[in-house]
Amino acid sequence: MTGTSPTSCGRSCASATVPAMPPERGGVMTTAPVGRARRAAIVWDVVEEHLSEADFLWAQWERLLEAPDHSLAEVREDDEPRLTAHLEGLIVGGHQVATRLLLPLLEGGQDMPRVCAAASALLGATDTDWLETLLERLPEGDEDLVQGLARALELSGREDVSAALLRRLPELAPERQSVVLDVLCRRQSDPGDILARMAGAAAPLKAAAVRAARFAPLALATDLVRQGLAAEEEAVRLAALETGLWRGLPAAWVACRSAIPAGGTQARLGLFALAVGGTAKDLEQVVASTREASLREEAVWALGFSGRLAAAEALLGVLKEDGSPLAAESFAAITGLPLRTPFVEEVEEPEPDVREPGEDTEEAVRAAEAPRGLLPAPAVVAHQVQVAEAERWWARERGRFSAEGRFLYGHPHGAQALLAALEGAPMRRRPALCLEVAIRSEGHCVIEPRAWTSVQHPRAKALSQVRPRNLAVTFEGLRAR
């Protein structure tokens, strides 16, 4: 993965030099003695501005990675280059900037985006290797510091990061081992045999070990998934469900059907799997879930990834019932309905519900405590759907869609349609698209949706090598040869 993208802006802003003119003597030009080149003086106000901008842009970039109103192309061409330019502005200052400005930020008490920016710049340094210095902060750092270091490490393009983390792993406390295993997982690194020794660990570490098994040998992954699916802890079961689907294990596919009544993040993954990789009967179960209040939103979201005509018809029915913007977006993801005038009208976003400390509702507390999975919760841009216009459009367009096919934004589902969606669909939808690609490519095309977009973009091109059959069959059918 790529750490930072050097730019000329960063190099010209961090410091400045003025070439010296040769002295004149009696009208004759002479040259000064050749000596050691002087290092340009560092303009500290400019460097501190780079840090401040990188701090702000990092927080904004993280939000955009799951935004319902930005695409990968937009982030890659605008926000991300601005961030990496300011990171480069910190890198070119070298050892002086590192010791005076960046290393003190790794002592704790800083917000996570600021730590991410400082750690990323240190990892990208060309005059000093700060990797071990960063790793020394992992055992004792506060939560924001550790999470910021972890984020910078997982995004770093340095090939030696994974090996260094594996060397440190045995000496860390269990909660820090969990962090390191998740970093290795996002770096798509095999953690090795150490996973086998974590089957009896506490729930957070066990869940991290099961997640990391996505890139472990199949026999070890199968054993960890089997144990995880039977675990009492929700986080471990979710990790086993994700890894099992990722690795194409039949036990995980069977568990998807029973995960839906459990609700929460497990139901989200189960509904997605049945909608995207199931049979016609499985799709009927997802459609039926739209009639259950506790599952309605998740089922409507999942149907948008199915690509089936039956799903589109069901979503139109939901749309006619309540004009749901979520149903409109899912319907558009299958049919290509333009989400603009005259089909939708913009509305003002409601003011956020700001609560005083201690005022969290029971529902909010449960949501905060629920394990975060591969798939984010449903979220779309607020708008007023003109249902009658959408119905008229569908009456004209429906004849293009067959009951047997799959469709993505109105085009037949396949490698080209997936590539276009990965580039142009809302960022909020991309984790689900990336998961389907990983499953259907049998691990040969793995796109980490929280990596640098400049890394994600070229990795998606491996989709062209996936067999067309893999993009068409059910998930269970992937194992049939």
The residue among 247, 273, 214 whose CA lies nearest residue 439 is 247
**pLDDT in the model for residue 42:** 86
Q: Which two tokens stand for residue 46?
A: 């400019």
**Per residue of the chain (481 residues), what is the pLDDT tens digit?**
444 443 333 333 444 333 333 333 333 333 444 444 455 688 999 999 999 999 999 999 999 999 999 999 999 999 999 999 999 999 999 999 999 999 999 999 999 999 999 999 999 999 999 999 999 999 988 999 999 999 999 999 999 999 999 999 999 999 999 999 999 999 999 998 899 888 789 999 999 999 999 999 999 999 999 999 999 999 999 999 999 999 999 999 999 989 998 888 999 999 999 999 999 999 999 999 999 999 999 999 999 999 999 999 999 999 999 999 999 999 999 999 999 999 999 887 655 444 444 455 554 444 445 567 899 999 999 999 999 999 999 999 999 999 999 999 999 999 999 999 999 999 999 999 999 999 999 999 999 999 999 999 999 999 999 999 999 999 999 876 4
**pLDDT in the model for residue 255:** 94
Q: Which two tokens stand for residue 4?
A: 């930072």
CA distance linking residue 101 with residue 90, whole number of Å: 9
CA distance linking residue 113 with residue 59, whole number of Å: 6
Cα dihedral value 471, 473, 477, 479, nearest 10: -20
How many Å is the Cα radius of gyration of the chain?
26
Please answer whether residues 115 and 105 qualify as being in contact, where contact means their C-beta atoms are separated by less than 8 angstroms: yes
For residue range 387-435, what is the model confidence (pLDDT) as tens digits?
A: 999 999 999 999 999 999 999 999 999 999 999 999 999 999 999 999 9
What's the distance, CA 274 to chain centroid? 22
DSSP single-letter state for residue 99: I
Residue 28: beta bridge partners?
Answer: 25
CA distance linking residue 273 with residue 252, whole number of Å: 10
Element (H, E) at 243: helix 234-246
Q: Which two tokens stand for residue 401?
A: 């869609």
Q: Torsion-angle region of residue 356: left (phi > 0), alpha (psi -120 to 50) or beta?
A: beta
What's the distance, CA 58 to chain centroid? 14
CA distance linking residue 472 with residue 307, whole number of Å: 11
Helices and strands in the chain, H and E counts: 24, 6
For helices 234-246 and 430-440, the axis angle rounded to 10 degrees is: 50
**pLDDT in the model for residue 480:** 61
Please answer whether residues 61 and 79 qualify as being in contact, where contact means their C-beta atoms are separated by less than 8 angstroms: yes
CA distance linking residue 435 with residue 256, whole number of Å: 15
